[in-house]
Amino acid sequence: MSTFETVIGLEVHLQLSTKTKIFCSCANQYGCAPNTNVCPVCLGLPGTLPVLNHQALLFGIKVGLALNAEINSFIKFDRKNYYYPDLPKGYQISQFDFPVAKHGFLLIKSSGQEKRIGITRAHLEEDAGKLVHDNSGSCSLADFNRTGTPLIEIVTEPDLRSPQEAYDYLNTLKLTLQYLGVSDCDMEKGSLRCDANVSIRPIGQTSLGTKTELKNMNSFRAVKTALEYEVRRHEQVIASGGKVVQETLLWDDEKAQTRTMRSKEQAHDYRYFPDPDLVPFTIDYKIIDGVRAELPELPQAKFLRFLSQYGLSEYDANILVADGGMADFFEAALKEYPQAKKIANWLGGPVLMELNNRKAPLAELKISPKELVALIDKVEQGVISNLVGKEVLTFMLDEGKSADEIIKAKGLAQVSDDSALLVIIDEVIAQNPAVVEQIKSGKPNAAGFLVGQAMKKSGGRANPKKLNELITRRITGV
Amino acid sequence: MSPHQLTSHALLDLFKSRQITPAEAYADVVNRIKTIDPKVKAYVHMAQGEPDFNGAIPVPIAIKDNLCTKGEEITCASRILKGFRSPYDAGVIEKVKKSGGAILGIVNMDEFAFGSSCETSCYGPTFNPWDLKCVPGGSSGGSAAAVAADEAMWALGSDTGGSIRQPASFCGIVGLKPTYGRVSRYGLIAFASSLDQIGPLTKDVRDCALLMNIISGYDDRDSTSVNEPVPDYTKALVNDVRGLKIGIPKEAFVDGLDPEVRRAVEDALNLLKKLGAVIKEVSLPHTPYAVATYYIVATAEASSNLARFDGVRYGLRVQPKSVRKNALVDMYEETRSQGFGDEAKRRIMLGTYALSSGYYDAYYLRGQKVRTLIKNDLDEVFKDCDVIMTPTSPTVAFKVGEKLSDPLSMYLSDIYTIPANLAGIPAISVPCGFAKSGLPIGLQLMGKAFDEEMLLRVSYTYEQNTEWHLKKPNL
């Protein structure tokens, strides 16, 4: 089957986290009771008119600049006409021939290779409402809270060559968008949605094969699986002498298969035309430059800087950069405590584990960079062991107290007092005569086992360095 | 004279001298409606509740059935909007209420303002107060008839291709379509968004200036409204046209122009000349394409504007008993089939076609280009003219039913009024005589964008030197 090449293009819809909706003053808010976050404008009541939310435009420009795209200073909106009960005006306000951004690209890393994925365009539009289908099947209910949420649709060139590349592109794109602070990029809430166009062609052929469009993937993983399924299906159709039919397909995640939504013949004629309610205008280049000046450092630049500036490994830099909040936290901590590797280890290890366990972003955890540094310092000073340090972190996050308070309150400070440690050591020596013999016969490394045993008995509180010293001295007399 | 027979400014004088209260005047007009409206049928329903008359200009007013008024059923005279009670006030309604305006009721119109005769209304036709066998014009036929029959002191209408001026002309009153962007469209149920404009229908030019003072101004809820200062329009009421240049387009005096209308307009021209105006023959070479252009652009926008009437959220919903395609598509089809009248369906189909993939460039795009040419023609003439004068309509009011089955001839009755909408400029119709049949004739003046003052000045001067506006129909 390797005689075919896969060609994929992706369309990502991203909800922009402006304060209000794109054409009215309703709050841009998720999770309200149905039809409570609406007004005559977003309900499309007769006589109402849209007014552009300037912030949505600025966010659109920001996304365009981050995707290395040209910004159209001529701002124009068009109507995309179609009927659906979740679309109150019978048309969606979108951008047709003058998208806010065009001709951009995003650099991704896939299978160790860097690759440039072309961005055809990114345009602003309004989101539709949501239909809730009654379980009995007797009716559908419409919720218009989502109607008018600002969206930017980001369309790639057909530059992706495998489902894995598509997956890697989506992750890089999401990270970039998160850095911009224009969206929470939460697929579960629907703030990021992805449709995929896929075709295959014999290797060497330059023209594109017949494509199918895939919809209804609810995670990046699902996008990848659906694409893998669809590529196999195309290959099978062609291998059996058939032709791929151009159509739109829905991905069924449970059955792990696609099914037809509409054929090419059923495709809508959207009858795009300029929305006469929104007068086109030209934005001053100074506004665009202003947005450019405020662009944050993007993940790729940050990654390279972390390598060169702090001498981090690619592994560490990747972990930190993969979460913009963590990268910032790292740099803040570094100001207090100039030990890049140590901080990176803590963030990429225990802290990341806590984040995963708690399913919360770093910003929501009850710990500041200063507090984390104080904890690391306790470990480095030998006040507590590394192991206890992780426990202390958990307590800190649970209770919102400082490392010092936790250590004192719970009596977790390391026992470095010789007499207390010697009591434990003598017990361990008595219980492990064979190991003692090994050490005596010139294998000092065997002491490590005894240290471990003693540590266990101390409940992790013994100072391991001190234990090692004392055990060796006790046995060899040195 | 009874209060209802007065102009609004005369009534305001009586309020000032405390000879009558606003409530008494309101009651008098309501009484007039009760007596006369069974014949004229201007109103589709009376307003809910009593007005509070709080404001400087507590004058009874009639509102066209396409201006959203809180608590009122607003239907655009269409079955598809039956039962829609607006939960909000249009920008102009807010302004009218703030000025103390006392809303009498909601008046008839052609369905969705599609028509020039007020016959396509789901409520049935309104009749011309000068001859009840004739149409009042349209689409603001209810507004014009109500004012002409003294069933309202003044009225608000909307004008997309002549819908204020043509009925004003047919009913012998004053009607002004302001510059596009002068009056907020927020709350006007859209026909063609790039052409629609709300404006006054009044008994004389002074009332027109007064009502313009109330409704004009920027509204941040309408992106097409323009943030230009609003002058006091009554200051423009100067009885002097000396030295003003009036352009007469040679294309205006074409075949199909009723000789009586022609004579009346020529008489008006001669009068203005005698009063000191300079008359210039000018040319608007692209205006012969105006009607065709209009019916592309206006129907294209209408086809999209009317998409929201789908039975899902408000108004009519019809669910056929047996399933034909699927429940949703069946509901759409049946609701829209039963909800829209023939003319609405015709225009939705025309507009849908004009925007279709493969036809867009040939129709909509080309239409917009011709529109620019027409605007350029007018701009060129206004370099050397203060106003352009034409008849408002090629004929006087026609008989009810006469043109209903001949849409093309109906469309041609807007031949003089359409260019102002395409170019976005202001235009006014003022009474300029009567045909032998006794039906009124109107003349149209077009002006530069945001120069309503010039239109008011020339109209006022003409009115001060004629008596056409003082005549009343016998009802």
Find the residue in A nearest to B333 (Cα).
A83
- Class for domain B3-240, per CATH? alpha beta
Which H/E stretch holds residue A155? strand A150-156
CA angle, residues B257, B263, B267, in degrees to nearest 5: 140
DSSP B164: T
For the cut 60, the answer to whether the pLDDT of residue B151 exceeds it is yes
For the cut 60, the answer to whether the pLDDT of residue A46 exceeds it is yes
Query: What spatial distance separates the first Cα and last Cα of chain A, rounded to whole Å?
Result: 70
For the cut 50, the answer to whether the pLDDT of residue B330 exceeds it is yes
Which of A188, A192, A253 minimizes the C-alpha distance to A226?
Answer: A253
B78 assigned to active site: no
Which of B308, B332, B306, B307 minimizes the C-alpha distance to B320?
Answer: B332
In chain B, residues with a C-beta closer than 8 Å to the C-beta of A142 are 312-313
Please, are residues B118 and B142 in contact by the beta-carbon 8 Å criterion?
yes
Give tens-digit pLDDT for A199-246: 999 999 999 999 999 999 999 999 999 999 999 999 999 999 999 999
Nearest to B223 among A49, A85, A273 (CB): A49
Residues 335-364 of chain A whose Cβ lies under 8 A from any Cβ of chain B: none
Rounded to an integer, what distance in angstroms lies between the CA atom of residue B430 and that of residue B469?
Answer: 8
Residues 53-92 of chain A whose Cβ lies under 8 A from any Cβ of chain B: 79, 81, 83, 85, 88-91
Which of B460, B425, B462, B471 minimizes the C-alpha distance to B181?
Answer: B425
Which of A269, A267, A88, A274 minimizes the C-alpha distance to B352?
Answer: A269
Q: Which residue has the tokens 């529109």?
A: B371
A133: β partners: A140
* Span B301-306, average pLDDT: 98
For the cut 90, the answer to whether the pLDDT of residue A410 exceeds it is no
In chain A, residues with a C-beta closer than 8 Å to the C-beta of B300 are 273
> How many beta carbons lie within 10 A of that of residue B435, not counting itself?
18
Strand order in B154-159's β-sheet? B43-46, B102-107, B60-64, B154-159, B197-202, B174-177, B427-434, B440-447, B387-391, B245-249, B278-282
Q: Which of B116, B121, B143, B163 is catalytic?
A: B163
- Partner-chain contact B300 A50, CB within 8 Å: no
pLDDT of residue A446: 82
**Higher per-residue confidence, B459 vs A422:** B459
Mutate to test the interface with A, among B92, B225, B304 (most CBs of A within 10 A): B304
Lowest mean pLDDT among A452-466, B72-86, B117-131, B461-475: A452-466
Give tens-digit pLDDT for A297-310: 999 999 999 999 99
- φ, ψ of residue B68 to 5 degrees: the values are -60, 125
pLDDT of residue A261: 87
Cα–Cα distances (Å) from A452 to A278, A425, A458, A469, in that order, read 73, 11, 10, 13
Measured torsion, CA atoms of residues A338, A342, A344, A347, in degrees rounded to the nearest 10: -110
For the cut 70, the answer to whether the pLDDT of residue A2 exceeds it is no
* Span B39-45, average pLDDT: 98
Nearest to B188 among A43, A47, A89 (CB): A47
Residues 416-475 of chain A whose Cβ lies under 8 A from any Cβ of chain B: none
Question: Given pLDDT bands bounded at 50, 70 and 90, which one contains residue A361?
Answer: confident
> How many beta carbons lie within 10 A of that of residue B240, not counting itself?
14
- 3-state SS assignment for residue B79: helix
pLDDT of residue A1: 46
State yes or no: cis peptide before B194, omega within 30 of 0.
no
- Partner-chain contact A51 B364, CB within 8 Å: no
CB of B186 within 8 Å of any CB in chain A?
yes
For the cut 50, the answer to whether the pLDDT of residue A384 exceeds it is yes
- Partner-chain contact B360 A44, CB within 8 Å: no
Rounded to an integer, what distance in angstroms lies between the CA atom of residue A375 and that of residue A369?
Answer: 10
ipTM for the assembly: 0.96
Residues 144-183 of chain B whose Cβ lies under 8 A from any Cβ of chain A: none
For the cut 90, the answer to whether the pLDDT of residue B405 exceeds it is no
Question: Given pLDDT bands bounded at 50, 70 and 90, which one contains residue A478?
Answer: low
For the cut 60, the answer to whether the pLDDT of residue B413 exceeds it is yes
**Higher per-residue confidence, B235 vs A457:** B235
Question: Given pLDDT bands bounded at 50, 70 and 90, which one contains residue A85?
Answer: very high
* Span A147-160, average pLDDT: 98
Nearest to B364 among A83, A85, A273 (CB): A273
Rounded to an integer, what distance in angstroms lies between the CA atom of residue A201 and that of residue A179?
Answer: 36
Residue B374 to chain A, least CA–CA distance (Å): 18
Name the pTM for this structure: 0.91
Structural domain spans, chain B: 3-240, 288-368
Please, are residues A106 and A65 in contact by the beta-carbon 8 Å criterion?
no
Among positive and negative, which fits the CA dihedral A217, A222, A228, A229?
Answer: negative
For the cut 80, the answer to whether the pLDDT of residue B390 exceeds it is yes
* Span B209-232, average pLDDT: 97
B163 assigned to active site: yes
- The contacts of residue B165 (CB under 8 Å, 6+ apart) are B159, B175, B176, B177, B392, B417, B427, B428, B429, B442, B444
Mean pLDDT value across chain B: 96
Domains of chain A: residue spans and CATH = 4-289 (no CATH), 297-410 (no CATH), 418-476 (1.10.10.410)
CB of B191 within 8 Å of any CB in chain A?
no
Q: Which of B117, B139, B225, B429 is catalytic?
A: B139
**Higher per-residue confidence, A448 vs B278:** B278
